Structure 1
Amino acid sequence: MAASGAQELPLEGGNICSQQDPGTAMSTRARFMELPDDVLYAVLQKCDIKTLCRLCQVCCKLNILIQSDSVWLPYRNLSTVIGSSAVPASTYSLHNRPINSPCVKEQLRLSHNWVEKKYHEKVLCRLNPRQLPWMQYTGGTIWFSVSNTIRCYRIQSDGRIREDKKQHLTLQDPKQHGRQQRRRRANFSAENNKHPNLINKDVSRFVVKDNVTISGCRDGSLYVFDCDSGRCLESIQISVTRDRTVKILAMSHDDSDNNPVRATIDMKDRIWSVAMATNGQSFTVGTSGCKGSPSLSVWDAERAERIFSLGSYRYGAGVLDMKYEDNNTLLTCGYDATLRMWDMRSGRCVEEWQEPYDTTLYCVQTDRNVTMVTGTARYGMIRLWDKRKSEPVQEYFLSQKSPVYSVAFDCSRMYAALDMSINTLDFSVLPT
């Protein structure tokens, strides 16, 4: 016989349980909530996502406990969690999360929106006339090039951007830089002014790091800015010119009469991309692959000697963009519609992903963890990739059907530079 106040009910498995009265149920729940927090955490870590979402509505204490990162970390490793292209993945950890970075639970919600294509598209800035813009996202600031200007936009808390005109960097005529700078550029730019119709001041690529901006123009000239004052800084960089050579420059205010060109490397082919390793000891050059030279080669920055070539590309499989994740990992993409990951220690391709539509990949960006994003040459299409999967995770078609020249992203938004606009995809939308 069951105790008074309770009724024995059969369950599906044939077992017998007692249906307690409301007072007894409240007492049982109270005893459960009296358990130590570490025991409650152990119980919560065994629950599935639906159960956790329901437990959030039971009481304030459970709601607070379930917001902890330790409860959601097991699901984070199984999902395509989107990081930030501006912050190294090593900074994402349970005890060392970047400032303003969402909790793991929120990261999983945002990643679900990425996978399910739940977003709002907005046009942040319109460009006129058509441009070949380059963009860099530094975590709170977006820099992108328009003609001879590198513009700076601050990202507000609601995702909108605000132009910071004080941070705009405009490439001036070399004559306006003074006699000292004019002497330093004379030997370097003379051989590159053979094309009278060339727009010399058009920015092709630039890099922003540690409050320093280094920009390269279409004529091969190089400008180095302090983001606050705009003055030239001492540096050693790689410059690519239209004469199929790579020049290693030593830019310094000392010895202004000396030739800044330390070394010149003849690639014998049109150069599409170049990237410096994170340690600054080597760099990689990507060419069009049409003149018999390798499409991808690694060079020593100090001795200007080729270390080795990467892979055996077919004819015309030029490399348009590349990104170093660290000293040992390089991502490349280009005309052969293939995204590759290279191990720089062995010089081998350790993984490759084929674009399903067989379209040229103009750019690649990574969060230095498992997420990669590529911009394609057609239909304003962007691909989301997971390194652990052979097929793309998702595809996004922008409202403007233009090649995607540059991309950047964080966990809640993705930015794309097109020929007539800068667009954003906002994945922070709440469920309806």
Structure 2
Amino acid sequence: MTKNILNLPVDILVNVLKKLGLSDLRNVILTCKTLRSLVVNDNTIWRSICRDKLILEDPLHNRSNNEQNWYNRCRISNNWCSGYFKNKVIVQFHSNYMPWLKLHNSEILAVSKGSELLCYAVDRKKIPNSKSTCWTLSVPTVSRNDVRTHDISRFVIRNNTLVCGNRDGSTAVYKIPYYKQKPLLLHHIQDCHENGQVEVSAVELIETSDFCYIVTASNNSQNIIFWQSNENGYNITDSIMDIPIHNGEGVRCMAVNNVMDKLAIGLDGNSKPLLLDIHIGKYLMTADSTRNSKQAIRDIGWHNNNTIMYVTHSGMLHLMDTRTNDFVRKTDQYYCINLKRSEV
């Protein structure tokens, strides 16, 4: 029977296999080496199965690599969803810190600890070396007349540039000459929002061939501010664009897409994000006028150029199509996703 199937043309055989379910494909893989090679290496079979699923993607590797075919993406994602993984303590704090993490270019792991930023090198197995740090950075602080700390609230790394937003209302911009070298301070914006009286809860870096913006926002301010650098570097003197937030709510997080023309904004106390066109400074997608702290957007990113992915405080994972403003997926299950811009 197997020999008769193998006599079929490859395109016809692939169309037959695309009609099978996941359990049936597993059985086909076990029949012979020829069918196993066809099922594993033909991406069209797995694209049709996983059209509506979240797939693990790693753009840092070559697409021709065997680890990048759709079979392995589905296999790894299924293992994460099913709980087949190992836990390993990489960095352990002895105090109650809630750090932010950034895995940059699979070379370094940056971890915020209070007002410090720790950098760990990544080995060949993509595991950070927690025994020693490449460098430790203490962000510049501003003394305020309130009880706020100087902790790092958010930071972003892109194209060897580091931007840190602090709880004391300031933002620091650094240049990373080499991932094992300590970053160089380029500029320190001391009063970002409300004359520095509120913390900077979200930062983003937008770099193109025509312009370079540093975007700051606060969960206690009703404006998003764009800061532009000059030709000599990040010598920032004043803001160039001040955009009010829909319904006057604060911002918890932001994320720019790969094309650098749209900014997804996660609101504080709202269940839906905003979508801002960077070129014209207008909102393409607005949120409901609700104030539900359980549905506040904790973190946000882009699954692709047309789909926003965000996580709420209640543990819900949402995927929203920016073209129709409809939910593509809404679930409270665990998924492993590697965004093309940042890491989750």
Verify same fold: TM over 0.5. yes
Label 1:276 to 1:383 Cα distance change in 2 as closer, same or farther (>3 A). Answer: same
Q: Does 1:358 align with 2:294?
A: yes
Label 1:355 to 1:330 Cα distance change in 2 as closer, same or farther (>3 A). Answer: farther
Q: 1:7: which partner in 2?
A: none
Instruction: State how far apart, in whole Å, the 2-side matches of 1:206 and 1:71 are.
Output: 39
Matches within 5 A, 1:21-60: 25=1, 29-60=2-33
Query: What is the Cα deviation at residue 319 of structure 1?
Result: 0.4
Q: Secondary structure at the match of 1:125?
A: coil
Counterpart among 214, 218, 239 of residue 287 in structure 1: 218
Q: Secondary structure at the match of 1:162?
A: coil
Matches within 5 A, 1:19-418: 25=1, 29-68=2-41, 69-83=43-57, 87=59, 97=63, 101-112=67-78, 123-140=89-106, 141-154=108-121, 161-163=128-130, 165-171=132-138, 192-193=142-143, 202-211=151-160, 213-215=162-164, 220=170, 222=172, 224=174, 225-226=176-177, 227-230=179-182, 232=184, 239-241=188-190, 244=193, 271-279=200-208, 280-288=211-219, 294-298=222-226, 304=238, 306-307=240-241, 309=243, 311-314=245-248, 317-325=249-257, 326-344=259-277, 345=279, 347-350=282-285, 358-368=294-304, 370=307, 372-374=309-311, 376=313, 382-388=315-321, 390=327, 393-395=330-332, 409-410=337-338
Instruction: State how far apart, in whole Å, the 1-side matches of 2:163 and 2:198 are.
Output: 24
Query: What is the Cα deviation at residue 30 of structure 1?
Result: 1.9
- Specify every segment of 5 or more residues in structure 2 that has no aligned partner in the other structure, as ranges: 231-236
TM-score by length of 2: 0.70
Q: Secondary structure at the match of 2:246?
A: coil
Aligned 8 A contact 1:143 1:150 in 2: yes
Query: What is the Cα deviation at residue 409 of structure 1?
Result: 4.6
Q: Secondary structure at the match of 2:37?
A: helix
Aligned 8 A contact 1:299 1:308 in 2: no
Query: What is the Cα deviation at residue 137 of structure 1?
Result: 1.8
Equivalent residue letter for 2:265: T
Query: What is the Cα deviation at residue 333 of structure 1?
Result: 1.5
Greater CA deviation, 96-105 or 347-356? Answer: 347-356
Q: Secondary structure at the match of 2:285?
A: strand
Aligned 8 A contact 1:278 1:324 in 2: no
Q: How many residues align?
A: 320
- Specify every segment of 5 or more residues in structure 1 that has no aligned partner in the other structure, as ranges: 1-24, 175-188, 246-265, 398-407, 417-432
Instruction: State how far apart, in whole Å, the 2-side matches of 1:170 and 1:76 are.
Output: 42
Deviation sequence 1:287-320 (CA, Å, 0-9, x none): 3456xxx333556656955546255224xx2102
Aligned 8 A contact 2:167 2:201 in 1: no
Q: Secondary structure at the match of 1:127?
A: coil
Equivalent residue letter for 2:71: K
Deviation sequence 1:373-432 (CA, Å, 0-9, x none): 4263xxxx64322224638633269xxxxxxxxxx9539xx988xxxxxxxxxxxxxxxx
Percent of aligned positions with the same letter in both sequences? Answer: 14
Aligned 8 A contact 1:318 1:334 in 2: yes
Deviation sequence 1:253-307 (CA, Å, 0-9, x none): xxxxxxxxxxxxx5886543232323244444323456xxx33355665695554
Equivalent residue letter for 2:300: V
Structure whose CA Rg is larger: 1
Q: 2:234: which partner in 1?
A: none
Query: What is the Cα deviation at residue 119 of structure 1?
Result: 6.0
Greater CA deviation, 65-74 or 273-282? Answer: 273-282
Output the aligned Cα RMSD. 4.4
Aligned 8 A contact 2:227 2:241 in 1: yes
Equivalent residue letter for 2:243: S
